[in-house]
Amino acid sequence: MIPYGRQSINDSDIESVVTTLQSDWLTTGPRVEEFERELECVVGAPTISVSSGTAALHSAYAAIGIEPGDEVITPPITFIATQATAALFGAKIVFADVLPDTANIDPKAVESAITSKTKAIVAVDFAGHPADLDELRAIADKYKVILIEDAAHSIGSKYKGRPIGSIADLTTFSFFPTKNMTTSEGGAVSSIRPDLLEKAKKFSRQGLVREPKDFVLTNEGPWHQEVHHFGLNYRLPDVLCALGISQLKRLPEFKRRRQEIFNVYSHELEFSPEMKVPIEKKYADTNWHLFPLRVPIRERKNIYSKLRENGILAQVNYLPAHLHPVFESKGFKRGDYPVAEAFYDSEISLPMHYGLRDEEIEFICKILKTS
Ligand SMILES: *Cc1c(COP(=O)(O)O)cnc(C)c1O
């Protein structure tokens, strides 16, 4: 079986984890800060580690103080965590349709969706390809709202030469095994705004205030810590940070191989009249997370099944978020976001991961060409 995504774990990864297991700290120890410092070097802004990409989004929304009734503008083509973590704070989820080429949120649709209640615009770098960040930033500044980037797919990508993580007000990452690097479960939040990052950090560490200068209760004693706003335990343990430190060193190599796989698929499939390969815009330097192939809508199920029969576990990304039954009571229906729906109806994500072998890529292309 050839999975669509898979982790790559080598001897250095194992050694890093084992060394940490034998140390004094399994969690809240020195590997956490070390991982966060190394992340900052890659993403270009101060970063905190958290326990998942979902936790990262939840912490980012906590940092901007989302309250019931606030509106958050999101794209339909994403994993549902982008919406779920804002909805759980009582946000009203607003959708803006995507662009037909990248499936990233369409800045024009975003501007039309802005109201006096808009709190944030959320961009998702689908497949690793950066969203139109300058256009989105201009809209965010014009209407004085926050720009959040769900970069679960795009660690290591660049936008006009700038690393993903250094552009939006808050950027969130996921280190789930199928993503571009892994800590098994894990995630991170980076921010160009120290005030927001501090709030995200407090939220992800139980809301605990530890600095005496910030205390409300000033006479408790040297053991004292206190809570001003509720938080959760979203810490990433040292054991997993150790894996992250080692994986980060391998990220350039992961990116190189993903690009190579992207190039072979593109070359092999671009002349099939029935298939559309993904494009990369001039401004983008993409760390490809997915290879979102587009096929004729009427053929999609057959092609998917044929791949599966041959042991190729392709994926479809994503059921547009507004079509999840959880949104039905809000009145969303098929037809609301036609570009996203057409994208979904024709999409198949081909296997894309570091360990994918050349013969396997060749085999996948052969099956596709005879479908
Ligand atoms: C994977 C993913 C998440 C959630 O990350 P987890 O680490 O699985 O919690 C959020 N958004 C997008 C776009 C994702 O692909």
Please tell me the predicted confidence (pLDDT) of residue 328.
Answer: 87
pLDDT tens-place string over residues 124-174: 999 999 999 999 999 999 999 999 999 999 999 999 999 999 999 999 999
The residue contributing the CA closest to ligand 1 atom 3 is: 53
Tokens representing residue 81 in the block: 């965590």
User: Do 280 and 129 contact (CB within 8 A), yes or no?
Assistant: yes
pTM value is: 0.98
Best probe residue, ligand 1, of 49, 82, 104, 174 (max atoms within 8 Å of C-beta)? 174
Task: Name the percent of the chain lying above pLDDT 90.
Answer: 98
Q: Atom 6 in ligand 1: which residue has the minimum CA distance?
A: 53
End-to-end Cα, the chain, rounded Å: 19
Q: How far apart are CA 267 and CA 270, in angstroms?
A: 6
Ligand 1, pocket residues at CB < 6 Å: 52-54, 78-79, 81-82, 124, 150, 152-153, 174, 176, 187
How would you class 197 by CB atoms within 10 Å of its CB: exposed for 0-12, middle for 13-18, buried for 19 or more?
buried
Q: Delineate the domains of the chain, giving CATH numbers in brackets.
A: 2-248 (3.40.640.10), 251-369 (3.90.1150.10)
| Structure confidence by residue, pLDDT tens digits, 7-47 | 999 999 999 999 999 999 999 999 999 999 999 999 999 99
318 upstream amide cis, omega within 30 of 0: yes
